[in-house]
Amino acid sequence: MSKGDYLTYRKAAATSMTGLVIQLILTLTVFFYARVAGDAAAAAASVFLLTGVLVWGVLLLVFDQHRRERIEAMEAEQLAVSGASAASAFENTGDEMRLAARRLALIYKWIVPAVAILLAAINIWVGFSRFRFYQSIEDYSNSSSHAGWALAIGIALAVVGFVFARFVSGMAKVNAWANLRAGATTSVAAALVGLVLAVGGFLELALSMDQVISISPYIISIGMVAYGVEIVLNLLLDVYRPRKPGELPRPAFDSRFLGLLAAPDRIAENVGEAVNYQFGIDVTSSWFYQLLSKWIMAFIAIGIGIGWLMSSLVVVEPHERGLILTNGEISKPVYSFGEEGDGDVGPGLHIKWPWPFSTYETPVLVGGGDEQMRTTTGVRVLHLASNPPNNENTPILWTESHTRGERLNIVQPERSTEEDDASGGENASTNTVAELSLVAVEVPVHYVVRNVKLFDQFAAPGQREQMLLQVGRRIVTQYLGELAIDEVLATHRTSMPMELKARLDAAYGQFNDGQGAGIEILFVGVNGVHPPMRVAPSFERVISARQNRESLIEEARKSQIKMLTEVAGSVELAEQISEELVELDAIRREQGNLSDAYIESELRVQRLLERAGGESGELLLGANANRWVRHMSERGQASLLQGQQQAYLAAPELYRSKMYFDALAEAMRESRVYLTPAELESLLVRLELQDKQAGTDVFDAEAGEAMQ
């Protein structure tokens, strides 16, 4: 080989070293930015760029070995020309002495494919794992605390990467430098990463749009996986691809797709060849194609200018009202075909200065997930406490989870009743202890924007809903902290929404130096009030005990009414009789039971009992009847005794005989009597005891008439 060949590979090695240094600087820059700003996209991009360092390192090794191989070949050629080889002891060794060539073959055969496999594994594994990680986090959204740095670093990355890729791609047109295409693709990949970061930072700064920043980690992760898959496909295809003798193998990490971006002129050539092939004629040589090619940049510039001028047109939808900001200050449109308000514009067509001198802002309503809608008249909802249930189609019980990440509010414990305080009961004794209770409450607030200017001024565009939410939660926390647990669960449920609405109106009215937040609260609800799920069974036991207590009380009242009605005829009369009995007992203790007042009170109670007609009245009337029966019976006995006394005094012997025989007859009334002579020595009596009535009553004068 000639000296030019040696210098050629030395220049390629120098270019590879330059690419290695640039790639390393870009990687470290993105890495430190990711650490400082917390940008997940930059963190993934730093790994992607780090693999480019390996690519440039392999190219440096390959071209340096080529340089050494050319030097070795030049020395061998000079040795052969000078004839010194004939005198050498190693004249028959031939290619065995070319160590650099063998090392070069070893690098192409093992090291380059091994590095390609390593690059594919790193990109596929890191890209796939990060993609799965982002998906595993619910509502994941990437954010950067330094959007300006993202824009600056992204632009620098894109410019440096693309310019260096174009330079290296031009060098790769030389056959000896063909492998530099892999370095060009690495620089293009860095430029694409910078483009993603720059677009995300620009949209965040200029339009407050964070969509690109949010999805940029997914874009870079997918790009890493695609790059790794392409390397694997290149490795497989290189196994079956035929190769000319002496042709250098193309590294598998030389991306064909990124190579087109590194050399866009090839894209135009390929498109032109495809058009010629499809039409069957040389279209690229026609005057129209030549004219279009000549003025294409002018047409593109005119299109960009028209698009830029169209940014001065603002179409406000029927459901929107917004603000026109000129140099950051609220201004009126240059000309308006629609409705104009006090500082804002309504539905219709409006003309303003082009972007970025003038912009149009409409408050954004953020819905579920990432859904956003630009509206001012639509009803917006804030959840100031717990979130609504995840599934509204199933029954919601205290013992079941309502929603994920449920918020609990602090409330006062159950207030003691007056009876407990008066009696010194258990509740009264625990009132001196500082106790708190927790409860979950859903407080949805529906509101609309009435004054866009005030709504735009009280906070930044991305912080308005958050500020309303935080202030509302503070009001709800303060209000619930004043109530007891039983009031929140039951007694104050109807009055809580009105009280909360009044307090929220007062709190939001303090924004903008007392002018208000420009919103109108339409509805405040208090729904789904329940204790924490783990203490719900205890609440249920308390409620069950209260129900049992109320049931027992009602049962006692039922028994009271039944007994009083049975005893006194009615509850009212029984209470009156009870009062009279208390008064009667008081008179007995003070005056005695022989006083006139006691007798009068006793008679009054007796009349009330008799008038009641209940069991006590019946017993009292029965007692009176028994008293009179006994009284008259005893009185009859006394009169009989007086008559018997008179008869005895008139004839004592006769009275005693009569009484004796009457008693004897009474004693023998149910007995059998047999009359026998006195001189009878032996008596044998046979009786038929079956008939008790067989015989005659000797004491009854009329007993034998039936037998006669």
| pLDDT, tens digit (0-9, with 9 covering 90-100), for 122-164 | 888 988 888 877 766 655 556 666 777 888 888 888 888 888 8
Token pair, residue 555, equals 């049962």
Nearest to 344 by CA among 362, 356, 317, 364: 362
Percent of the chain with pLDDT over 70: 77
Please state at what angle helix 211-240 crosses helix 180-207, rounded to 10 degrees: 170
pLDDT, tens digit, 9 for 90 and up, residues 621-659: 777 778 788 888 888 888 888 888 888 888 888 888 888
The SS3 of residue 331 is: strand
**Which residues are registered as beta bridge partners of 438?**
410
Residue labelled with tokens 């600087």: 25
pLDDT, tens digit, 9 for 90 and up, residues 563-576: 777 777 677 777 77
HEC string of 369-402? Answer: CCCEEECCCCCEEEECCCCCCCCCCCCCCCCCCC
Say what the pLDDT of residue 1 is: 36
8 A C-beta contact, residue 132 and residue 222: no
Mean pLDDT check: name the lowest of 80-89, 243-252, 438-447, 517-526. 80-89
pTM above 0.85, yes or no: no
Q: Which of 240-249, 251-260, 610-619, 684-693 holds the top average pLDDT?
A: 251-260
Q: How far apart are the first and last CA of the chain?
A: 183
Kind of pairing between the strands at 313-316 and 348-351: antiparallel
Amino acid at 573: L
pLDDT, tens digit, 9 for 90 and up, residues 667-708: 877 777 777 777 777 777 776 666 555 555 555 666 556 555
Contacts of 202 (CB under 8 A, 6+ apart): 151
204 Cα distance to chain centroid:
28
The SS3 of residue 335 is: strand
335: phi then psi, degrees, rounded to nearest 5: -150, 145
Domain boundaries, the chain: 3-83+97-262, 266-306, 311-361, 376-531
Say what the pLDDT of residue 700 is: 61
CATH code of domain 376-531:
3.30.479.30
Amino acid at 619: L
The SS3 of residue 86 is: coil
pLDDT, tens digit, 9 for 90 and up, residues 373-429: 455 556 788 888 877 776 666 666 766 666 766 778 888 887 765 444 444 444 444
Contacts of 71 (CB under 8 A, 6+ apart): 6, 100
What mean pLDDT, rounded, does the chain reach?
Answer: 77
**Which residues are registered as beta bridge partners of 442?**
527
8 A C-beta contact, residue 238 and residue 254: no
